[in-house]
Amino acid sequence: MRTISALLYLLILLFTYGTPVHAQITTGPTSVIDGDTLDIHGTRIRLFGIDAPESGQSCVTDGKRWRCGQQASLALADKIGRRTVSCEQRDIDRYKRIVAVCRAGGEDLNAWMVSQGWALAYRHYSADYIRQEDGASRRKLGIWRGDFVAPWEWRRGTRLATGAARTKQAGDCRIKGNIGRRGVRVYHLPGATYYDRTRIDTSKGERWFCSEAEARAAGWGRSRR
């Protein structure tokens, strides 16, 4: 009787809440919406643990703007080609999209996007792809070739300044985001022990922050000295 009751309970949960979170979705034709979103037969799938530049987002390399959001989308589309994509569901986001780890030919597409510099590790939700991000940063791949705004900050309205506007921005935003030899990211506040001796090289992915909250959201930790 207890076994039957348990089965009935599971059936009630299934019909009430739908498919279990770790459901498997396998398909052939896949459309790329942007650098971290796919469409599989009308179902939107958000790639788990990564955040790619938005479609309308621009980055700056050698003083020139380029559409890094568009390039991220094209890179993902080229990587997939006509191959079958398999997505393992991890969650459902507030927009009712499936959040998943997707693979093509057995290769983790989420990891590949970060390793090639076309997306950042979405540290607010996962630490799975930090190693790939550190590698892309060191090799200056994708958006790491120049300056960019983290996608989550871009969605909040932050824009990358150039020229005189950028000089002003650097003057207003005085927190230094430094990347150490082992890829460790720390930020230094004005007046801290190492603040004056720290030099920011944006070509290496280092950057200025306007607040500690912004630095932490981007994945930097506060220097202990």
Q: Note whether 21 and 55 are within 8 A (CB).
A: no
Q: Which of 116-130, 132-146, 169-183, 202-216 has the lowest mean pLDDT?
A: 169-183
Domain 2-148 grouped into CATH 2.40.50.90: yes
What pLDDT is recorded for position 128? 96
Residue with the larger pLDDT of the pair 4 and 120: 120
What pLDDT is recorded for position 26? 63
- What is the per-residue pLDDT across 127-173, written as a single tens digit (0 to 9) for each? 999 999 999 999 999 999 988 889 988 898 887 765 544 434 444 57
Q: Which residues, including other chains, have CB under 8 Å from residue 146's CB and lie 6 or more apart?
A: 59, 60, 61, 62, 202, 203
How many whole angstroms separate alpha carbon 154 and alpha carbon 165? 17
Q: CA distances (Å), 86 to each of 22, 66, 135, 192, in order?
A: 13, 31, 25, 48
Buried b (16+ CB within 10 A) or exposed e, 38-50: bebeeeebbbbbb
- What is the per-residue pLDDT across 23-81, written as a single tens digit (0 to 9) for each? 566 676 799 999 999 999 899 999 999 999 999 999 999 889 999 999 999 999 999 99
What pLDDT is recorded for position 225? 78
Average pLDDT, the chain: 83
Provide the token pair at 156. Answer: 């909040």
| 3-class DSSP state of 17 | helix
pLDDT higher than threshold 80 for residue 1: no
What pLDDT is recorded for position 20? 46
The number of helices, as runs of H, and strands, as runs of E, in the chain is: 7, 15
How many whole angstroms separate alpha carbon 77 and alpha carbon 31? 8
What percentage of residues in the chain have a pLDDT greater than 90?
52
What pLDDT is recorded for position 160? 74
Angle at 188 between CA 184 and CA 189, to 5 degrees: 160
What pLDDT is recorded for position 162? 55
Which residue ranges make up each domain of the chain? 2-148, 161-222
What pLDDT is recorded for position 180? 86
Q: Residue 146: left (phi > 0), alpha (psi -120 to 50), or beta?
A: beta
What pLDDT is recorded for position 9? 43
Determine the distance from the C-alpha atom of residue 112 to the mean position of all C-alpha atoms in its chain, rounded to a whole number.
12
What pLDDT is recorded for position 161? 63
Residue with the larger pLDDT of the pair 17 and 185: 185
